[in-house]
Structure 1
Amino acid sequence: MNTKFLAILGFILIAFTGCKDYLEVDSPSTFSFDYLFSNTADAKKAVLGVYSLFGEDPYTSRMSCVWMQNTDVEAMQPSANPDGSRRDIWSLEGKNLSGFSDIYKAWQNNYLAIDRANQCIEGAKTSPIADDPEMKMILGEAYCLKAYRYFLLCNFWGDVPYFDEAAKAGMELDIPRTDKNYIYSACIQNLVDSEEGMYFADEYADGIERMNREFALGMIARLALFRAGYGMTQDGTMKRADDYLPVSSNDSLAVTYTYNGTEKTARTSDEYYQLAIDYCQKLISLSDRELNSDFAEIFYNECVFNTPTNDDVLYEVAFLAQYGGDVGWCVGSTVNSSSKGASTIQVNLTPTYYFSFDDDDTRREATFTRTYYKNDDDKNYVESTTGLACAKWNRLWLTNDPGSSSSKGTGINWPLMRYSDVLLMLAEAENELNGPTSTAKNALKRVRERAFPEDVQSEKVDQYVDNLSSKDDFFDALVDERSWEFGGECLRKFDLIRWNIYGKKIIETKATLDNLGKAAFDLELENPDVAQYADYANYLYYRKANGEITFLNVKYRPDDVPETIVDVEDLDEEGNENAYARANWSRSLYKYTDDATTGERTYDSADYTVRCWRGYTDPTGQSAVPYVLPISTTTIGSSEYLDNDGYLLN
C-alpha cells in the first residue's frame, strides 16, 4: 500500500473513441495520445489508469474472490433456492444469471481494462523514447495487465472476443468469440517478447505493488499451464487444444521463445508444459529467494501495509484504504462490530478442507479460524464447521483507523502470485512431462519445508515426497499441496477446471461430508469409508476467558468428555470455573428429523452438502461442471455475433 496506484482513478485517461457496448468508453482526455507517451511520467500515469479498474466493485470482491467458489476448498452455502444473485454462481447455477447486472459490469470492467492496456501498448511501442528503460517497463506492465484480464475472461466466460489493438474510430468492435487457446497463446507471446524489458520488484520503488518481471515470468508459466490444460468448449465438453484445434499447423496457436540460447516453439500441450518449466526455471535462476519461514506473516504483512521484495509475494493488487479493496470485508476473519468496522464474509472454507490437513501442518491454523469477533476484544465460536472463515486476513490488524462504521474499502492488498506458486507450477509441469524427477520433488519439498516444524520434516517432507514414485501419485500430491498452500486465495476453481477434475472433487467432497456426518452420529461404522472418521470430533469443547477462546479439542474426540458442560453465557458464573461450553463440530455435517407421530428418527445430508454444488448433478463426477457464466443479455442485445449457445450446461 506504499504507492497506492488505485488512488489516481482516471487522473489521466487515454483518449477512447466510440465502440460497442462491451467496450464502453470514457470521455476523451484533454491530453493528446502522442503527448502522453512522449515522456515516462505521463506514460506511467496512463498505465495506472489500467490498474485503477482493479478498484471497482466487479474486481474488488466479485472476480477476485466471491465468484471463485464453490470448490473443494472455498465454498459458501447458498440460499435454499436459486435467487438471481451471486449465490447462484456459488451453487454452479450461473447459467440463470444472464440478466444479473454484476455479470454485465464485470464483463465491462475487463474489456475497459483491456482497451486501456492496448492503448498503453500502442503508445509505448510507438513512443519516440520506446527504448527508454522506464518505457519498456510500462510496455511490459501493459501486456501483463492485458494478459491477466483475458485470463479472467477466459476462465469465467470461456471463449470471448479478442482485441489485439485499441479501439479506434471506424474499427469493427462487434466481433465473435475467439477460442481461449488462441488468446492464451497470444498473451504468452506478448509476455515472452516483453518480460526482459521489465524491472524486478527490488529494482524500483513501487516494488510488488506493480506488475514486475518476476510476476511476468510467473504469469507466462501460469498461462502455459492453462494453454496445456482443459477448458469448456462451445459444445459443452472439456477439451485440450490438442483435442480439437490445428495446433501443429496454425501459428496463432504457437509461441516462439529462446531459453538458454536455444530457440523453441510451443504448439502442443506437452510443449506448453515445457514452456512452463523453462520460465519457472528462468525465474528461479534470475531471482530465487527463500520462502518466508512464517506462513501467516505473508498475509499479516498485507494487513499492515508491509510490502517486502524478494519474498513470497511476487505481485499484489495495491488498494487504497477507504476506496478500494474488500479483503478483510468479504474474505478474512469475521468481525461483527469493532473500532475498525465490520465484515460481511462471503468466502468460507469447507470442513473437508480443514480435515484434509496433516495435524502438524502449520498452514492449517494460519488458514482457518474457528472463531469470530463480536467486537475488538470478544471472540466467539462460529458454532458450525460449515461457517469456517479464512484467517489469513483480519481488519482488526489494520494500522490505519478506518472507523467503527467502515466495512468495504479496507485497503488490504490482494496477492495475485506468490513464489510458492512458481515452485509448484515447476513441480507440476516437470511431473507431467517426465514424472516425479528430482527437479519436481525438490520444488515440492521447498514448499512443504516451510509448512512443517523442523522436528517432523524428515518424515513429512522428505519421506512424504520421496515416496511419491508414480506420475499419478505425484500429481495427486500436487493437487493436495496447492489446496493447502493457497486456501482462501481463490486459485482453486481455475486450477480444477484446467485439470478437468472439478466434477470429481465435488463428488468426493460431498461423499466425505456425508461420511463425516454419519461418523459424528455413530452411524454405519461398519462401513470403512465412515469408520475412518470415527474418532473425529462430533463436538468441540471450549472455555472462554477475557474474550479469548481456548479449545479442549480441535479435530478429534477428547479422551475424556468434560464433566461439566454449560451454555457459553454461563461460563463466567460462580462454580463453573472448570466447566466447558460445547458446540457442534462434525455433527453439523448431517441432519436428522424425528417423526412427530412415531418418534422415529431419520438422517440425511446436511443442507450445506445439498445446496453448495446443486448445479452439478452427475453422481459420477465425470461430466463437465457448469462453471461458465453467461454473457449478459445487455451485451448480447447490442451484438450481431454474441450469444450463449452451447456454453451453458443444463
Structure 2
Amino acid sequence: MRKYILILSTLFLFLASCKKNFLDVNSDSKYETDYVFSNKEEINRVLTAVYASLMSNDSYGNAYFSTFALNSDVEFTPFAGELPNVNGEDFRAFDGAQHAPSVQRFWNKQYEGIERANIFISGIENSPVFSTSDKDLTQMLGEAKVLRAMFYHDLVVMFGDVPFNTEPAMNLKSNFVIPVTDRNEILSFLINDLKGAAAGMKYASKIEDGDAYIDEGVERASKAFCYSMIARMALTRGGYALYSEGTRGTMKRMPDYKDYYLTAMQYADSVISSGTHKLGKAYRDVFIDQTNNVVNNNDDPIFEIPFLRNNSSNLGNITGPRVEGVENVTNHMWGVINGGMRLNAFYAYSFDRADVRKDYTVGTWGYDAAGVPQVLVDYSLYNNKWAKLWADPSRALGSQSQGGTGINLPYMRYADILLMYAEAVNEVEDGLSGPHGAKALDAFKQVRRRAFVEADHATKVESYTNAAAASKESFFNAIVQERKWEFGGENMRWKDLVRWNLYSKVVYDSFKEYLIVASMVGGDFMDGSEAYQSLPFNKFFRRVANPGNKEIYPNTTLPIIEFYNPWEGVLHPGTGWEMTTLYSWYNEDTSMPRAQILYSFRGFIKGGPTGNWESMDRNGLPPVRYILPFPNQAIQLSNGAYKNQYGY
C-alpha cells in the first residue's frame, strides 16, 4: 500500500484530462475506462489513488487532528488575543472565518477524495470484468464506498449540511452546482449504501492472508471497518447537532433518533461478534507500535490511515512533548518535535490515579536543544500519543527530522466499537436491564480492564462498572467519562460532546476552571475555589538518568524527570529536588487573569472588559458554534447558491 500510494498518488492525473469543477478541486474524471477497469491489477491501482486522498496534511495528515481539534476539557490550545486573528484560523477557539486557508484546503481535499471514490465506484460497477461473485472486486468496491462515506461523514460533522453527489463530475453538466443536502439525508444514504457493500467485503485478517491484490490488513477498509462506519454514522445521525435556527443556532436531534441508535447497536455488535478484533495489547503499545510503523491486523486498530515514512503524516511531530534543536537539529536520533497539539491543563486530574492511560497520554516535560528535560509550565499539557521519542532507535527518523513521520492515524479502534455498543444498548433499551444489557456491560468492562492492572480489576472494573450500571443515567455518565479517558489526544472529545448536547456545559465549566485557578493566584477566591486548594502550585522534581525500563518510559535513552508528587501540593521534600511554579496565570500589572485564560474559548465564552461569562447561566447556555464555514472559494464558484450561516 505504502509503495503504491507513493508511486500512484498522481495516477488519476495521468489518466485524466483535468478540469475545475464548482468545488475547485481536480476533477479526475475523463480517462480510458476500458483500459483502467479491464483487469484486477489495474483496478486495484486506481483504488490506491482514492487512498492517496487521505494522506495530505491539509486533511488527515495534520489538520483533522490539529487545526480542527476544537477546545474542550480534553484537547486545548490557548489563545491570547481578544479579537480573532486576521488569518481567520482561530477555529479551536470557535472564532475562525471563511477566508481561512486551512478550511479551503480541508474542503478541497475531502471533495477530491469523494470525486476519486465516485469515479472508482462508477468505473468498477460498469466494468466488463465486474461480478458480484468476484470477492476481490466486491471487496474493492466496498473499500471505495467506505472511504467515500468517511470523507462525507467528517464533512457533515464539521460543516453540517454540505453539497452531496455520488456521480463523477464528468456526468454532471459543466455549470451544474451540486445542491447543499440536509446532513440527515446524507448520513441515511451512506448508512444504507454501506449496508449493501458490507456483504461483499472481507475482514482484515482475511485481507492479510494472501489475496492477490489486497494484502494490507487494517491499512485497507475491511468488513469490520464498514460495519464500524455504519455504527459511527448512525450515532452521528441519532445524536444532537447544531442547526441554523434562531440567532446562534439550535441544538436538536431528529424524532427518529432511536432508530439510528438501534442501527449503531446492531452493527457495533456485528464487529464484536465477528471476533476479528480485541484489546489484547497494552494501551500504550497500540500507539507505540504505530510510532514504529508496526501494523496489527487483529487487535485494537480497525482502520489505520496508511501514511508514508519520510513523506506524510504529522503524527509524532505535532503530537508528543516539545523537543527543541539547534537550527532544528537535535543531538539525538529522534529529531525535533513541535508538540503543539496539546491537552487541557486539568485533564490529567480527571483520571483515576491508577489508570495506566494517564501517564502514557499526558506529558508534563519536554527537552531543550541540549537534550535536557524541562518541566512544562504552560496553559496546557503535552499529548504524548505517537511521540517520535517512542520509536525504537533503529526506527528513529534522525536528528534533522520533523514531520513526514509515516505514523498511521488509527481512525477507528475496537475500543470505540465497544463503547459505542454499550452506549447504544443503554439508549435503545433504556438502561442495562434489557436482553443486551449484560453484553453491553461486558463491552464497557473490556475497555476498563485494559486501563488498570489486574490487581485493581475487582475495584476499578467490577465494582466501578456495576455501580455505574445502576441506572440509564449513571451508565451514560460513565460512558461520557470513559470516552474522555480512552480517546484523549485523538480529537474525538468535542464531536462526542456535540452529539450528546453537552458541549456548551463542558466549555463553560472548562473556562470557569481556568478562571478560578488563575484568580486564586491573584488572591481572588471565587465560588468553587475550594475544589482546587490541593493542586500542586509548587511542583518538585529532579532530573535522573533513564532507567531503561520500557514498561515505564517508552524512550529508554534520554534522561527523564521524576516528580515528588505530581498530584497534590506538598511541603518541600528536602535536598536534591528542584521546584517549579505552575498556574502562574494572573497578571499583576492588570490585576486580571492572563489573556490566555480570558480568551481561549472566546467564540463562546470570554472574560476581560468585554467578557460575557458573568451574564451566562449554566442551565440556559447557547450552543457552541462548532460548525465550520463554507470556504470563500466554494461560495464564489457556486454563484451565490451557497451561503454561510451560524454567524459567519
Shorter chain as denominator, the TM-score bin is: 0.7 to 0.9
Do structure 1's residue 227 and structure 2's residue 227 form an aligned pair? no
Q: What pairs with 1:69-84 in structure 2 (closer than 5 Å)?
A: 69-80=70-81, 81-84=83-86
Do structure 1's residue 387 and structure 2's residue 380 form an aligned pair? yes
Do structure 1's residue 476 and structure 2's residue 477 form an aligned pair? yes
Per the alignment, residue 316 of structure 1 pairs with 304
Give the 3-state SS of the residue equivalent to 1:273 in structure 2: helix
Per the alignment, residue 296 of structure 1 pairs with 284
Q: CA deviation at 1:86?
A: 6.6
Comparing 20-29 and 173-182, the one that deviates more: 20-29
Counterpart contact for 2:27–2:115, Cα < 8 Å: no
Do structure 1's residue 411 and structure 2's residue 399 form an aligned pair? no
The structure-2 alpha-carbon separation of the partners of 1:16 and 1:332, relative to structure 1 and needing over 3 Å to count, comes to: farther
Counterpart contact for 1:348–1:388, Cα < 8 Å: yes
Per the alignment, residue 180 of structure 1 pairs with 183
Q: CA deviation at 1:509?
A: 1.2
Find the partner of 2:422 among 427, 430, 439: 427
The structure-2 alpha-carbon separation of the partners of 1:455 and 1:435, relative to structure 1 and needing over 3 Å to count, comes to: farther
Q: What pairs with 1:124-203 in structure 2 (closer than 5 Å)?
A: 124-131=124-131, 132-168=134-170, 170-171=172-173, 173-203=176-206
Find the partner of 1:607 among 595, 601, 604: 595
Do structure 1's residue 116 and structure 2's residue 109 form an aligned pair? no
**Structure 2 CA distance, aligned partners of 1:28 and 1:170?**
11
Give the 3-state SS of the residue equivalent to 1:58 in structure 2: coil
Q: CA deviation at 1:435?
A: 3.1
Per the alignment, residue 626 of structure 2 pairs with 627
CA RMSD of aligned residues (A): 2.3
Find the partner of 1:584 among 565, 581, 584: 581
Q: CA deviation at 1:237?
A: 2.6
The structure-2 alpha-carbon separation of the partners of 1:43 and 1:58, relative to structure 1 and needing over 3 Å to count, comes to: same
Per the alignment, residue 210 of structure 2 pairs with none
The residue type paired with residue 352 of structure 1 is F
Gaps of at least 5 residues in structure 1 are: 244-267, 564-577, 596-601
The residue type paired with residue 580 of structure 2 is A
Give the 3-state SS of the residue equivalent to 1:467 in structure 2: helix
**Structure 1 CA distance, aligned partners of 2:86 and 2:407?**
29
**Structure 2 CA distance, aligned partners of 1:371 and 1:346?**
13
Comparing 200-209 and 529-538, the one that deviates more: 529-538
The structure-2 alpha-carbon separation of the partners of 1:290 and 1:634, relative to structure 1 and needing over 3 Å to count, comes to: closer
Per the alignment, residue 35 of structure 1 pairs with 35
Per the alignment, residue 390 of structure 2 pairs with 397
Give the 3-state SS of the residue equivalent to 1:55 in structure 2: coil
Counterpart contact for 1:158–1:180, Cα < 8 Å: yes
Counterpart contact for 1:200–1:212, Cα < 8 Å: yes
Q: CA deviation at 1:545?
A: 3.2
**Structure 2 CA distance, aligned partners of 1:395 and 1:376?**
17
Q: CA deviation at 1:647?
A: 2.9
The structure-2 alpha-carbon separation of the partners of 1:606 and 1:377, relative to structure 1 and needing over 3 Å to count, comes to: same
Per the alignment, residue 498 of structure 1 pairs with 499
Comparing 632-641 and 216-225, the one that deviates more: 632-641
Per the alignment, residue 237 of structure 1 pairs with 249
Give the 3-state SS of the residue equivalent to 2:411 in structure 1: strand
Q: CA deviation at 1:330?
A: 1.3
Per the alignment, residue 534 of structure 2 pairs with 535
Counterpart contact for 1:591–1:605, Cα < 8 Å: yes
Counterpart contact for 1:72–1:509, Cα < 8 Å: yes
The structure-2 alpha-carbon separation of the partners of 1:156 and 1:376, relative to structure 1 and needing over 3 Å to count, comes to: farther
Per the alignment, residue 67 of structure 1 pairs with 68
Per the alignment, residue 221 of structure 2 pairs with 211
Q: CA deviation at 1:161?
A: 0.5
The residue type paired with residue 357 of structure 2 is R
Deviations 1:334-378 (A, max 9, x none): 221333332223310002211111111110001011111225843
Comparing 422-431 and 465-474, the one that deviates more: 465-474
**Structure 1 CA distance, aligned partners of 2:197 and 2:532?**
52
Q: CA deviation at 1:288?
A: 4.7
The residue type paired with residue 572 of structure 2 is V
The residue type paired with residue 203 of structure 1 is K
**Structure 2 CA distance, aligned partners of 1:19 and 1:429?**
42
Q: CA deviation at 1:223?
A: 0.1
**Structure 2 CA distance, aligned partners of 1:43 and 1:119?**
11
Q: CA deviation at 1:64?
A: 3.4
The structure-2 alpha-carbon separation of the partners of 1:287 and 1:212, relative to structure 1 and needing over 3 Å to count, comes to: same
Do structure 1's residue 356 and structure 2's residue 350 form an aligned pair? yes
Per the alignment, residue 91 of structure 1 pairs with 93
Q: CA deviation at 1:379?
A: 1.8
The residue type paired with residue 20 of structure 1 is N
Counterpart contact for 1:7–1:320, Cα < 8 Å: no
**Structure 2 CA distance, aligned partners of 1:6 and 1:196?**
30
**Structure 2 CA distance, aligned partners of 1:11 and 1:55?**
15
**Structure 2 CA distance, aligned partners of 1:420 and 1:347?**
22
Counterpart contact for 1:630–1:648, Cα < 8 Å: no
Aligned pair count reads: 595
Q: CA deviation at 1:206?
A: 0.2
The residue type paired with residue 156 of structure 1 is M
The residue type paired with residue 540 of structure 1 is K
Deviations 1:283-341 (A, max 9, x none): 11113543134111010001111101110011111111221100011122322133333
**Structure 2 CA distance, aligned partners of 1:85 and 1:584?**
34
Counterpart contact for 1:124–1:139, Cα < 8 Å: yes
**Structure 1 CA distance, aligned partners of 2:456 and 2:395?**
39
The structure-2 alpha-carbon separation of the partners of 1:117 and 1:594, relative to structure 1 and needing over 3 Å to count, comes to: closer
Per the alignment, residue 572 of structure 1 pairs with none
Give the 3-state SS of the residue equivalent to 1:532 in structure 2: helix
The residue type paired with residue 151 of structure 2 is R
**Structure 2 CA distance, aligned partners of 1:66 and 1:633?**
18
The residue type paired with residue 49 of structure 1 is A
The structure-2 alpha-carbon separation of the partners of 1:436 and 1:336, relative to structure 1 and needing over 3 Å to count, comes to: farther
The residue type paired with residue 428 of structure 1 is E
TM-score, length-scaled by structure 2: 0.87
Q: CA deviation at 1:3?
A: 5.8
The residue type paired with residue 405 of structure 1 is Q
Give the 3-state SS of the residue equivalent to 2:561 in structure 1: strand
The residue type paired with residue 191 of structure 1 is L
Q: CA deviation at 1:551?
A: 0.8
Work out the percentage of aligned pairs sharing the same amino acid: 29
